[in-house]
Amino acid sequence: MPSTEPRGPKQIYKALIWSLKGLHASWTFEASFRLEVYLTLVLFPLGLWLGRGAVEKAMLVGCLVLVLAAEILNSAIEAVVDKTTPEFHELAGRAKDMGSAAVFLLMLNVVLCWGLILWQHATT
C-alpha cells in the first residue's frame, strides 16, 4: 500500500539513510563494486580534466556513474534471486545473467565514450 504520508524533510532524510546503507552494503559485500569504485576514483578527475566543455565532461564522468548504478542493481537482483531460490533454476540464472549483461553493456559504453572523445582530441 502506498504511503499517504506527505513527502518532506523527514522522508528525504530516511531515503538518504537507506541509500547510504545500500552503498555501504555494496562496498562491503561486492568486490566488483569496489573495483569499479577504484577505477572511478581514477577516471572521474581525469575525465573532468580531459573533457573540453561541459558536455564532454558530463559524458566522460556520467558513464562511470552509470556503471556503478548498474552494478548495484545487478547485486540487488542477485541477492533477491539467491534468497528466493538457493538451488539452480533456469529463470534465476537468466535473471542474474541479464543483470551482468547490463553492467557489461554500460562498461562498453564507457569504452565507447572515452574512446570517441579521446580519439577526437587526438585528431584535432
Beta-strand runs (E) in the chain = none
Query: Is 71 considered catalytic here?
Result: yes
Calculate ∠ Cα 94-22-7, nearest 5°.
110
Question: Distance between CA atoms of 24 and 3, rounded to whole angstroms?
Answer: 26
Question: Which residue out of 30, 36, 56, 71 is catalytically annotated?
Answer: 71
Question: Distance between CA atoms of 81 and 91, rounded to whole angstroms?
Answer: 9
Catalytic residue set: 71
